[in-house]
Amino acid sequence: MPNVSPGDMVLLLALDRKRYLIQAKPGDRVHTHRGWLAHDDLLGRPLGRTICTQLDEPFLALEPSTYDLISLLEREGQIVFPKDAAQILLRLNLFSGRRVIEAGTGSGGLTVALARAVMPQGRVYSYEVREEMQTRARRNLARLGLLDVVELRAGDIATGFQETDVDALVLDVREPWLYLAQARAALKGGGFLGIFVPTVGQVSEVLATLPGQGFGDVVVEELWQRPWKPVAERLRPADRMVAHTGFLTFARALSAEDAAEWWVPGDKRLMRRLRVREALAARAAEAEDETVDAPPAGEDE
Amino acid sequence: MPNVSPGDMVLLLALDRKRYLIQAKPGDRVHTHRGWLAHDDLLGRPLGRTICTQLDEPFLALEPSTYDLISLLEREGQIVFPKDAAQILLRLNLFSGRRVIEAGTGSGGLTVALARAVMPQGRVYSYEVREEMQTRARRNLARLGLLDVVELRAGDIATGFQETDVDALVLDVREPWLYLAQARAALKGGGFLGIFVPTVGQVSEVLATLPGQGFGDVVVEELWQRPWKPVAERLRPADRMVAHTGFLTFARALSAEDAAEWWVPGDKRLMRRLRVREALAARAAEAEDETVDAPPAGEDE
Amino acid sequence: MPNVSPGDMVLLLALDRKRYLIQAKPGDRVHTHRGWLAHDDLLGRPLGRTICTQLDEPFLALEPSTYDLISLLEREGQIVFPKDAAQILLRLNLFSGRRVIEAGTGSGGLTVALARAVMPQGRVYSYEVREEMQTRARRNLARLGLLDVVELRAGDIATGFQETDVDALVLDVREPWLYLAQARAALKGGGFLGIFVPTVGQVSEVLATLPGQGFGDVVVEELWQRPWKPVAERLRPADRMVAHTGFLTFARALSAEDAAEWWVPGDKRLMRRLRVREALAARAAEAEDETVDAPPAGEDE
Amino acid sequence: MPNVSPGDMVLLLALDRKRYLIQAKPGDRVHTHRGWLAHDDLLGRPLGRTICTQLDEPFLALEPSTYDLISLLEREGQIVFPKDAAQILLRLNLFSGRRVIEAGTGSGGLTVALARAVMPQGRVYSYEVREEMQTRARRNLARLGLLDVVELRAGDIATGFQETDVDALVLDVREPWLYLAQARAALKGGGFLGIFVPTVGQVSEVLATLPGQGFGDVVVEELWQRPWKPVAERLRPADRMVAHTGFLTFARALSAEDAAEWWVPGDKRLMRRLRVREALAARAAEAEDETVDAPPAGEDE
């Protein structure tokens, strides 16, 4: 992206920190709280430049990052914040070529992050029952050229997902505990599940429902982001910050052939149960199969 | 990754939360604190399965996520933590096809995250002066099949980076303020700079040096990650957590043709200076160029 | 406390941060991980001095603060941490002369903080059903000379508290929601209630039970304390911290003559209900009593 | 405080969380954003009652806690927040009878907390150079009946404090590192020093100046307070919170007769130095004094 072309997304930053996200179009103007800017001032020139409104108010023109896009996309209602979206991408092992399901689509903020992580060869299957939300998400994705990475689906996930053997699945819905069996059916063995909910009651419901659904290695966490005032000689944190966005729950799909129904490190009752079961299984296996005890050719770590 | 093949990385999770990262190799054994596991028990079968040591101790075999890889890679000294690496990827707008410089390579933890974000078409140029660190990073990247996405460079960055017009650049070195001019020279106009340092004194040095180096939109922040105990009926945060990993500073390269030397929203002295300069420039421009005032064909918000 | 006298509590601080709390007694020795110290080295001399073990290992002898006492008292099980105890003292408006009930006593850590806040003229009524806990608490309070400020009570609080019209009441028990009516009966109109619980489920139970029990102005909060490494040139937070101690809930006893059963700012359903009720009451009152509309003699703030 | 008397402070809480702090006076009215309330509606009746404005808007009348007073006092500029004041009281070991110095007085928010902690027998010596601030603080303290516990002093602390052998001293000034020698001179051996500053640069200056000034056991920390939404069925943290108030530094005055100039656990250079010095001193002492090795009568842990 050396110079701005028609259709490019541009972030405009005012001196008072207000931000505008536009799509460059010859002849257009963007109206700000400090006057208007001509898109033609941007087109054909590099980003990182200061341009001024007709009132001589300066704006810095920048390439919007995925972080900016999630923050600024046209939206409605609660969204997954960039800091949480970032963590989800690494926790769910998303990279080029991966196939991931998302429900619901919402305004498409997380969808953008998922699509950029798995493109060009991967695929995002994004489910949403509310039609007007899907329309908004489609518009947002179209502006960013991401529609060929994302399949927008309108179905009700209570009846299951169309895909199977997907690498990862994110539930960003009000009652995620209702869809755990469907999620397990869609995931590959060892696949990654991520759940985003705002209240602790929802986390409790998820944790109460997960055992017996074929998931293990459950992690619950929250992330905070504290901004600092970027002033060398009076360095200190900002005065106010976001206190809460949501709680993140992660788990792994157990393989269908696995004996365990639930696997939470530290759950002592489980440990006892599992040990008995596994000890029995291991002994039964030993009786039939001697290869386990064959002398190894080498060792690792 | 339907079934485990030779060369695949596998994460082994014990009931007491201890984790092992291995590369599957026929005939090998991995020795744990609970006995040994045969790699052959993993090969040719799906992940998400429980396998047992010769002492009947169960381990859950999983695909390691990028998050796990950063946490568990063979390493030395301080590393960029996964939560910070995740934020860096979104803030620096990294996705498939991007070109990014990293200095220093260290043990390659952040390099893995960068490589997985920009692959298959992008490129990571990673600089490191300490030879033994580079050797370790090369080994880590080779095990993950990422060496064709990463160029490991041994040069001293004080003399500048070999690349130009890169999309983004991360400084994870002790004195990042010494390399800001070199970073600016390597970045495209509007390119993304990220800096990771552990102490507030280093943040102050960076902020004191940035003005005049051609960067703007400076953000300083810290992220915390609080684990919760994943137990439905006694839901509560964990007892202890990491109190600090480092401070993140982000900035954007201003275009070479831009009049501004520094752009920090809220910096009042700058605002006055910029307004005067821009007002003069804008008026001069108006005298020569009437197209700015041309009636727009449409508007964009 | 100019010089150390027999019976004084002394805090001994080792160079590796290990701390010992002792009661000075002529002829005694304290055995540390670095050798032993003679109490006679402390007696009759000021605090703030370095003394050494027979192995030449230095210890700094200090007056223990209330903060230190809560941290170091002989104890068992979970305790209210100093940061939370500190907040409770200010939130419950405790100062010399106040009467406060505490249940349960536990090891007496919070009791010490309460007693020091209300002494010499106030009184702490501390309830505990477990006899061995009360014995330990009595020993702790005796060492600190606080037994004449505290009444240790053994009764079961389910049958109510003996005191009435107390200024404040703290519940540090497993199921505080079972004792809200008893708490209301013991508190004066407008009295202060504080509740400490470790899990979110307990907070939810408390919040579900409070309406209708005669409390208002409900506040729920948590406090964190992040230590920093006290090194000027490499200033940064410590590596690890306590992630969680407990959740604090505060409320005020509504006066018995008040029409309202519940008062939570922002609770919209309540607001509607209250407005209707109050509007009716106010109109009825107006009909009988014209003094409300009398011109005021002056105004305040 | 059974019923409200003339001169009592009363907190008025509106349904939208807005709070008013008044001093009850017969015939007065308080004007709120929802109409006015007659003080006579409060006088002679208990607190914890709902009263209504002439517009039928309800307010809950409450006794203000020390926490409320610090938050709501008539003030100017930055103040020490209640959570930090609470921690200072416990860390500085303040209770009835203690003598504490504070500089500067500011609007008197922290002064109120200190006075209530040490009254009735203790004393607060509060220094302030700005006359208009002292006037405001005097007014605030007078309304709360605390003027007989507090000595307001106008002197410049650069020339030293008038008091000696005080138990504790709090510096809440812009450049606290300039007054460490004066603070040491005023404190008793082992006395408690507390410093409140908003920026990390100030913390660094303090830490760089403390060595050699006769202080030890240095602690730096910050506290956060996260409010939760008090709703049982949708329990979750509030959306926004205060990100920063200030950094707290605590230290203890070393006794004048102590050999050590500085005592920071974990400071390795110091540890070496101290060990040599103490070893020499201890051996010299042993040569003269054999009582140290006398068999102890008992032991204390």
DSSP C149-217: TEEEE-S-GGG--S--SEEEEEE-SS-GGGGHHHHHHHEEEEEEEEEEESSHHHHHHHHHHSTTSSEEE
**What integer is the mean pLDDT of D233-244?**
95
**What integer is the mean pLDDT of D292-296?**
33
pLDDT at position B85, please? 97
Size of interface B-D (CB pairs under 8 A): 5
Whether residue B30 and residue A121 make contact (CB cut-off 8 A), yes or no, is no
Structure tokens at D256: 């004048």
Distance between CA atoms of residues A179 and D120, nearest Å: 63
Closest CA to A225 of A30, A85, A95: A85
Closest CA to D53 of D23, D90, D94, D12: D12
Whether residue C60 and residue D263 make contact (CB cut-off 8 A), yes or no, is yes
Q: Is D291 helix (H, G, I), strand (E, B) or coil?
A: helix
- Residue D76: how many CB atoms within 10 A of its CB? 11
Is residue D299 pLDDT above 90, yes or no? no
- pTM of the shown model: 0.88
Q: Is B231 helix (H, G, I), strand (E, B) or coil?
A: coil
pLDDT, one tens digit per residue, over D40-97 is 999 999 899 888 888 888 899 999 999 999 988 877 666 799 999 999 999 999 999 9
Q: Which residues of D touch A234 (CB under 8 A)?
A: 199, 201
D-chain residue closest to C295, CA distance? D27
Q: Which residues of B touch C238 (CB under 8 A)?
A: 243-244
A-chain residue closest to B64, CA distance? A93
CA angle A231, A236, A241 (to 5 degrees): 110
Which of A202, A204, A206, A226 is the best mutation test for C, with the most CBs of C within 10 A?
Answer: A204
Name the least confident of A102-111, C282-291, D251-260.
C282-291
Which of D4, D45, D56, D209 is the best mutation test for C, with the most CBs of C within 10 A?
Answer: D56
**Alpha carbons within 13 A on the beta-carbon side of B6:** 4
Q: Could you identify the residue written with the tokens 């005298």?
A: B287
Burial class (CB in 10 A: 0-12, 13-18, 19+), A257: exposed
Whether residue C220 and residue D228 make contact (CB cut-off 8 A), yes or no, is yes
Q: What is the DSSP string of B68-128?
A: HHHHHSS--S----HHHHHHHHHHTT--TT-EEEEE--TTSHHHHHHHHHHTTT-EEEEE-
ipTM of this complex prediction, to 2 decimal places: 0.87
| Phi-psi group of B161: left, alpha or beta (phi > 0 → left; psi -120 to 50 → alpha; rest → beta) | beta
Q: Block means of pLDDT (10 residues each) for chain C, length 301 residues?
A: 88 90 95 93 91 87 94 78 97 98 94 97 96 94 95 94 97 97 95 97 94 89 96 94 97 76 53 54 52 34 33
Whether residue C48 and residue D252 make contact (CB cut-off 8 A), yes or no, is yes
CB contact set of D265 (below 8 Å; sequence gap of 6+): C13, C14, C15, C16, C17, D217
**Alpha carbons within 13 A on the beta-carbon side of B8:** 23
Q: Which residues of B touch D201 (CB under 8 A)?
A: 204
Q: Which residues of B touch D204 (CB under 8 A)?
A: 200-201
More confident residue, D79 or B294: D79
Q: Which residues of D touch A233 (CB under 8 A)?
A: 201
| Shortest alpha-carbon distance between residue A222 and chain C (Å) | 11
pLDDT at position C289, please? 46
Helix axis angle, D109-118 to D131-143, nearest 10°:
50
Of B239, B241, B244, the CB nearest to C236: B244
At the top level of CATH, the class of A67-263 is alpha beta
pLDDT at position A283, please? 55
Give bridge partners of residue D123 from the DSSP assignment: D99
pLDDT at position D264, please? 55
Q: Which residues of A touch B111 (CB under 8 A)?
A: none
- Residue C285: how many CB atoms within 10 A of its CB? 13
pLDDT at position D277, please? 56
Domain ranges of chain B: 9-64, 67-263
Q: Which chains form contacts with chain D, at 3 or more CB pairs under 8 Å?
A: A, B, C
Which of B22, B33, B62 is the best mutation test for A, with the most CBs of A within 10 A?
Answer: B62
A-chain residue closest to B235, CA distance? A204
pLDDT at position D55, please? 86
Helix axis angle, C109-118 to C82-91, nearest 10°:
40
- Could you give the dihedral angle defined by the CA atoms of residues D115, D119, D121 and D124, in that order, rounded to the nearest 10 degrees? 0
State in Å, rounded, how far the first CA of chain D is from the last one: 44
Whether residue C49 and residue D258 make contact (CB cut-off 8 A), yes or no, is yes
Residue type, A247: F
Whether residue D220 and residue C227 make contact (CB cut-off 8 A), yes or no, is yes
- Residue D292: how many CB atoms within 10 A of its CB? 16
pLDDT at position B220, please? 97
* CA distances, B49 to each of B244, C170, D103 (Å): 35, 49, 65
**What integer is the mean pLDDT of D265-275?**
53
The answer to whether the CB of D37 falls within 8 A of the CB of C164 is no
| Shortest alpha-carbon distance between residue D201 and chain B (Å) | 8
Which of B43, B67, B118, B213 is the best mutation test for A, with the most CBs of A within 10 A?
Answer: B67
Whether residue D207 and residue C90 make contact (CB cut-off 8 A), yes or no, is no
D-chain residue closest to B201, CA distance? D201
**Number of continuous H segments (helices) and E segments (strands) in chain A:** 7, 17
Q: Which residues of B touch C (CB under 8 A)?
A: 198-201, 226-227, 233-244
Is residue A115 pLDDT above 90, yes or no? yes
CA angle C137, C143, C145 (to 5 degrees): 100
Q: Is B180 helix (H, G, I), strand (E, B) or coil?
A: helix
Is residue A47 pLDDT above 60, yes or no? yes
- The continuous run of DSSP H or E covering A111 comes out as helix A109-118
Q: Which CATH number does D9-64 carry?
A: 3.10.330.20
Burial class (CB in 10 A: 0-12, 13-18, 19+), B99: buried
Whether residue A227 and residue D243 make contact (CB cut-off 8 A), yes or no, is yes
